[in-house]
Structure 1
Amino acid sequence: MSPIELPPVSERVRSLHAQMTLDEKLAQLVGYWVDQGDELVAPMAGEMATSTKYEDASAHGIGHLTRVYGTRPVDPVERAAWLWAEQRRLREQTRLGIPAIVHEECLTGLAAWKAATFPTPLAWGASFDPALVEEMGRLIGGSMRELGIHQGLAPVLDVIRDPRWGRVDECIAEDPYVVGTIGTAYVRGLQDAGIHATLKHFVGYSASQAGRNHAPVHAGPRELADVLLPPFEMAVRDGGVRSVMNSYAEIDGIPVAASEELLTTLLRDRWGFDGVVVSDYFSVAFLHTMHAVAEDLGEAAALALAAGIDVELPTGDAFAAPLAAAVRSGAVDEALIDRSVLRVLDEKEELGLLDETFDAPPASIDLDTPEHRAVARRLAEESIVLLSNDGVLPLDARALTRVAVIGPNADSAEALMGCYSFVNHVLAHHPDVPLGLELPSVVDALRIELPGAVTDVVRGCDVSGDDASGIDEAVAAARAADVAIVVVGDRAGLFGRGTVGEGNDVDDLELPGLQRLLLEEVVSTGVPTVMVVLSGRPYAIGWSVDGPTAPAAVVQAFFPGEEGATAIAAVLSGREAPSGRLPVSLPRSAGAQPYSYLHPILGGPSEITSADSAPALPFGHGLSYTAFEHSDLSAPAESETGADLAVTVEVRNAGERAGVDVVQLYARDTYASVTRPVAQLVAYARVALEPGESALVRFDVPIGRLSFTDRTGSRVVEPGDIELWVGPSCQDRETSTTVRLVGPVHEITPSHARTVGVSIAEAARR
């Protein structure tokens, strides 16, 4: 066995490490969940709850404090005072005086009481706006830093493979480039504010069998390399992320938590990651209890540590006493522990913890400032996708005297929030505690947006269940109105407490409960009906965009957050034009899953099967209140396999009102040594245009965007024809051209940039 290589660190860190006993070392490699109780806010949390008292667990110091603000509804200022005092205790009353890293969830904003709640990541993807996501990340990081938090457990860079999976709302898109660019933007924003971002879930978690949580993953090495890994690589190489969290998954029989190939050889040796790998909650113990690759917790700890996991979260079930016993028995080389301890101490030095005095906790703090809300509103507005529209939208407020607002999500603030929002993740266990935020519902926002109309509110049915007793009342309200707005969709929660979210996987993709029946009954009245879907996954609602029971318009909003209702009302009224695009295909049916627009020829519909896998609406689809035209796509007729490509296209607003287009550049490698997708997004840009205005959009596309993993496992660009096109979705070719790549097979090296450069020049005004 080769000797364990220790990481390079400062002399200060090396000196501190040299003083440590084994117990003091192990204390730095575990977290402690001070507030853990009976609430189910993590998988199997109750079953894995530690019986060790905090005073005993932290006698030699502690690596992490787990979710100090995010486990129960605690007043932020009061909790900060406790935290500052506790950090002083660790500094003054433990032998080496090393403070703890405090980590929190921050997927839709800081998961703490009274903190701003932003749109869910699937909405980030629908916005196609990395710059705004980076701005959001910076605001979230600023709030965390004020509260003495150091590490955020986000973003999720899992590429969506199957919408039946409950955690789809935590993901950004089904396209790895969109996931990578937007996820990396979030990393930059959070880390600019001094918070270490944590990529999760590395890797393969979203490709689980049949869309089931914690199920086996059967991805081959090419799917892993070309689809699932690129977002993580971008965030490591381009984003400089400081922490990574392992996936719960097993890939081809090997749990990721025990995979040295992934956690060390790939992540560190090939990609150059030099931060800290933390375990997903209880995943080290799961090597024993769920994967059964370790006979006990000590063996589980040894496997995880050797693979490359440095810190066990949220507690020390395996890395504390069981690992100590394994080291003392000689079963585990203490050098493995030294390697991880040095990484943790290096991180604490980088965060400033070794010099922090903790003498001035905040006396007051606003976690939901006007700036937070402004960014939350902009992101919500940009993420709303107009799926269909027969002209009923935008609503003519002057002509409306009575509006029926119907549906289980119409008057619910919780329906605007994702699974990892504090409202749905924690407050659901504390029904008597106020939300702590201004959270208008869709009804509230429409009453403000349409002040001249009487608003009748009828629930009609619940999100789930089979009680149809309220549908007749909903139909009557619709008949009496000028327009009916039916708000349907999901309720996010955990492990059965909801219709989507962690552990809430499904075996069909119909709208839950009786919501389709409610919608069809309202449509049957003949009153113009607008369907608003508030959901955390795309549903099989093709019937709503094309068919005899289709409403006049369908609007998709993926859990748009605290300002989501205001954004929806603004889009319905026309005060804001919709500009969101589908970051995931709208499924035809559950039976057509798993499906990805990145499929090879055999993955699409054909004459040799009676099953149709084509989605109801394609990736990239989204309508506007104006019309955009794309023309004159231009690229070199011939280019070297190792040369980047300059591609230009003209986009024109041919409508009568201002709008934002998401210009989408797709490519197809017509013939290659391995099968290739029939379409692949290689670049995108948001372009705002006034009526009649045109712009010339230039994409500087790194040749690596056209690379793939060949039969030898190398990432290459091969000579041959590449079809390029721009259109309103992946399947619509509005303007196209072909580039012939010439020269030898070109192997892509890490030095190649992975992000496309975009420039937009005014071409003409008419």
Structure 2
Amino acid sequence: MTLEEKLAQLVGFWEKGDGEAVAPLQGVFDVEQGLDEVSRHGLGHLTRPYGTRPVDADERARWLWGQQRRLVRETRLAIPALVHEECLTGLSAWRAATFPTPLAWGASFDPELVAEMGAAVGGSMRALGIHQGLAPVLDVIRDPRWGRVDECISEDPYVVGTLGTSYVRGLQSAGVHATLKHFVGYSASQSGRNFAPVHAGPREIADVLLPPFEMAVLDGGVRSVMHSYAEIDGVPVAANAELLTGVLRDRWGFDGTVVADYFGVAFLHLLHGVAADLGDAAGQALAAGVDIELPTGDAFLAPLADAVRAGRVDEALVDRAVLRALLQKAELGLLDATFDDEPPTGVDLDSPEHRRIAARLAEESVVLLSNDGTLPLAAPGRVAVIGPNADRYDALFGCYSFVNHVLAHHPEAEVGLEVRTVREALATELPMSSIVFERGCAVDDDDTSGIAAAVDAARAADVAVVVVGDHAGLFGRGTVGEGCDRDDLELPGVQRALVDAVLETGTPVVLVLLTGRPYAVDWALTRAAAVVQAFFPGEEGGPAIAGVLSGRVNPSGHLPVSLPRSAGAQPYSYLHPALGGDGDVTNLSSVPALPFGHGLSFTTFAHDELVVEPGASTDGSIRASVRVTNTGDRAGADVVQLYGRDVVASVTRPVAQLLGYRRVHLEPGQSVVVDLDVPTTRLAFTGRAGVRVVEPGDVQLWVGPSCLERETEASVTLAGAVHEVGIADERWTFTAVR
């Protein structure tokens, strides 16, 4: 291969139009060359051919097959391009099914269903000739002020790892390569600001931020990883060989491709200031372990070619990356592909099966935060539906949904999906009730002129359903999403004033939070008759929320992230040591309004008889069982949560740590015993010598409805020597129900 042919395999090409701002600073990198010119020596990736603008799938497939045939027939090496797309909430394409956000996955605590969703998404992608999906996001939530919280799964690394790995397995079962994002540290940014420096120490990185990625590599067999935009202690990840090669490849044995986050290589020069020019940036990224520059070849084409020919970059680094890129194409069958077949037509991107999965996941993810008995609604005669998110379909979707990510730039295009808003769905759920709607205010402005009409509607109603929250967008165009960070955790705009005014009417208020992050709404938990949390539940989210309000759906979601009391207590995690919580040494509380794992139901569950087998060792597992009983009068699903605390350790340990969980469905009066086999490596941490270990000693265990509630307790003593954790050690929790 010539140098030009090698470099061609290491870059993407993105055909995008003016005003389609779906990546940071993309306007700086407008490429004047067309696809034919850029790909005359071949092409590594085609960037988002379906997901950049609303295009008919049949028409675009014909275009794509034509481009692939041209690459096969008209370039010397005859190698097709690898096609990648975003797929965080489903395939990001016009008219494709849009599922709940990852934060909603976390609320479901249902890895099997997440894997099923991944397989459905992967099937759609493969049918359209797409080979790689840029998901899942495995960033652990560290600060809810950060705009990209809606893309994340949880504040608990084990929940992130289990659900994220399930998505990887589902997607890759369809023959599509998943891409882990964003390796690593991105979510721990200073003050919750996008792209801000990360000041995490090596122990936090090793024990909190890295484990989800390790699980997806070792247990999920993921084939691609995307580097983070972040700098950690002054070193940008895109130029960090210790992480991209030392951890990812040498320690974990990852043998797939590392792709750049969009423009991330060029940012080494333009934003981080650690590279003198784009050629220098390309050389640093290659040396660190970045194989593919996305979305275009700003650094890896002409600048890198010049640097190689001038002797500033060793061509052996190029060869290493090319080999990895070609091996990936070989795995996907691209080296033998001719594209002589006809392109697909009539692919149903939003089939009844997609809808079934979307509806079930939406229903399982709705969290009932509080309820005085008003829910489920008992056939009210008159319902006032109020709020800026009550009758807005895009309020159901996250930042990386096609609706908010792409269609926001194309207001002339129809949404392309059948979507029912909360108001529309509630009218269907309560056909005998009179539904009156008032918006009250917008999501994020200071106009209070509509509040008076909302108050009048509430006074005249039997119950007021007030739907407030976020609008997902990018780079300041939303209240949550990439580049949409917050200084505070109050409801955006004048929504608090709207809710307060409706509460003061005395009409029972059901507050529905349609958000992409948890907000500080402790003031509403005791004043509202009920509070319902939904994290952008997708195309079937309206009916799911309405089903909970009517009682058709028994809520079973649990908080995957603590519900904060204030922005001033951030960053906060339930995984804090003793001095990270409340106590007599400070006058301020950091305890959240509601804890990690909290979630109510229309039935009740009891947990008892937590039994732990004796004889656990530092290099073995903890075998526990607990009985869970539905003590109410209707069927429901419970998430059994097993927590532990390492009582004495050589470094400070969390006061509570989720060791295992299991979602179980129970009929009224039914009991089951849940067995949990917890590898002791779940209790591993980085010791004083910088090595991950499991230490002998006492461990407290408990099961309860959240991390703070100990409904049934036990203890175990880990015997043996200090165990150094190796790559072969298991990280999954195995559960069974009997």
TM-score (norm: length of structure 1): 0.96
1:84-118, CA deviations, whole angstroms, 9 ceiling, x for partnerless residues?
Answer: 01100000011111100000000000000000000
- Residue of structure 2 in register with 1:171 after alignment: 152
- Residue of structure 2 in register with 1:366 after alignment: 348
1:103 and 2:90 are equivalent in the alignment: no
The number of residue pairs the alignment matches comes to 737
Q: 1:122-521 to 2 correspondence within 5 Å?
A: 122-358=103-339, 359-397=341-379, 400-521=380-501
- State the SS of the aligned residue for 1:234: helix
1:524 maps to a residue whose letter is E
Q: C-alpha displacement at 1:356, in angstroms?
A: 1.7
2:557 maps to a residue whose letter is G
- Residue of structure 2 in register with 1:14 after alignment: none
Cα separation, 2, equivalents of 1:636 and 1:89: 64
Q: C-alpha displacement at 1:183, in angstroms?
A: 0.1
1:203-260, CA deviations, whole angstroms, 9 ceiling, x for partnerless residues?
Answer: 0000000000000000001000000000000000000000000000000000000000
- Residue of structure 2 in register with 1:48 after alignment: 29
1:247 maps to a residue whose letter is S
For residue 730 of structure 1, the aligned residue among 698, 707, 710 is: 707
Q: C-alpha displacement at 1:742, in angstroms?
A: 1.6
Which runs of 5 or more residues in structure 2 are unaligned? none
C-alpha spacing 1:363/1:638, structure 2 compared with 1 (3 Å): closer
1:559 maps to a residue whose letter is F
- State the SS of the aligned residue for 2:327: helix
**Does the Cα contact within 8 Å between 2:19 and 2:409 map onto a contact in 1?**
no
Cα separation, 2, equivalents of 1:49 and 1:67: 16
Cα separation, 1, equivalents of 2:315 and 2:18: 33
Moved over 3 A (4+): none
1:58 and 2:39 are equivalent in the alignment: yes
Q: C-alpha displacement at 1:637, in angstroms?
A: 4.2
Q: C-alpha displacement at 1:467, in angstroms?
A: 0.6
Q: C-alpha displacement at 1:714, in angstroms?
A: 1.4
- State the SS of the aligned residue for 2:342: coil
Cα separation, 2, equivalents of 1:196 and 1:37: 30
For residue 60 of structure 2, the aligned residue among 79, 83, 87 is: 79
Cα separation, 2, equivalents of 1:664 and 1:218: 31
Cα separation, 1, equivalents of 2:294 and 2:441: 41
Cα separation, 1, equivalents of 2:515 and 2:597: 18
**Does the Cα contact within 8 Å between 1:36 and 1:49 map onto a contact in 2?**
no
Cα separation, 2, equivalents of 1:36 and 1:641: 57
For residue 632 of structure 2, the aligned residue among 637, 655, 661 is: 655
For residue 714 of structure 1, the aligned residue among 691, 695, 709 is: 691
1:382-402, CA deviations, whole angstroms, 9 ceiling, x for partnerless residues?
Answer: 0000000000001112xx211
Q: C-alpha displacement at 1:752, in angstroms?
A: 1.5
- State the SS of the aligned residue for 1:354: helix
Q: 1:465-614 to 2 correspondence within 5 Å?
A: 465-546=445-526, 550-614=527-591
1:29 and 2:6 are equivalent in the alignment: no
1:302-324, CA deviations, whole angstroms, 9 ceiling, x for partnerless residues?
Answer: 00000000000000000000000
- Residue of structure 2 in register with 1:39 after alignment: 20
**Does the Cα contact within 8 Å between 1:80 and 1:362 map onto a contact in 2?**
yes
2:547 maps to a residue whose letter is A
**Does the Cα contact within 8 Å between 1:637 and 1:738 map onto a contact in 2?**
no
Cα separation, 2, equivalents of 1:657 and 1:617: 25
- Residue of structure 2 in register with 1:90 after alignment: 71
Cα separation, 2, equivalents of 1:349 and 1:369: 31
Q: C-alpha displacement at 1:47, in angstroms?
A: 1.5
Q: C-alpha displacement at 1:36, in angstroms?
A: 4.4
1:280-333, CA deviations, whole angstroms, 9 ceiling, x for partnerless residues?
Answer: 000000000000000100000000000000000000000000000001011111
Question: Could you tell me the percent identity over the aligned residues?
Answer: 69
Cα separation, 2, equivalents of 1:677 and 1:351: 43
- State the SS of the aligned residue for 2:369: strand
Cα separation, 2, equivalents of 1:513 and 1:330: 56
**Does the Cα contact within 8 Å between 1:702 and 1:754 map onto a contact in 2?**
yes
**Does the Cα contact within 8 Å between 2:175 and 2:332 map onto a contact in 1?**
yes
2:731 maps to a residue whose letter is R
TM-score (norm: length of structure 2): 0.99
2:30 maps to a residue whose letter is A
- Residue of structure 1 in register with 2:651 after alignment: 674
Cα separation, 1, equivalents of 2:615 and 2:126: 51
- Residue of structure 1 in register with 2:665 after alignment: 688
1:24-51, CA deviations, whole angstroms, 9 ceiling, x for partnerless residues?
Answer: 0000000010234331100111122223
**Does the Cα contact within 8 Å between 1:164 and 1:506 map onto a contact in 2?**
yes
1:380 maps to a residue whose letter is A
For residue 601 of structure 2, the aligned residue among 599, 614, 624 is: 624
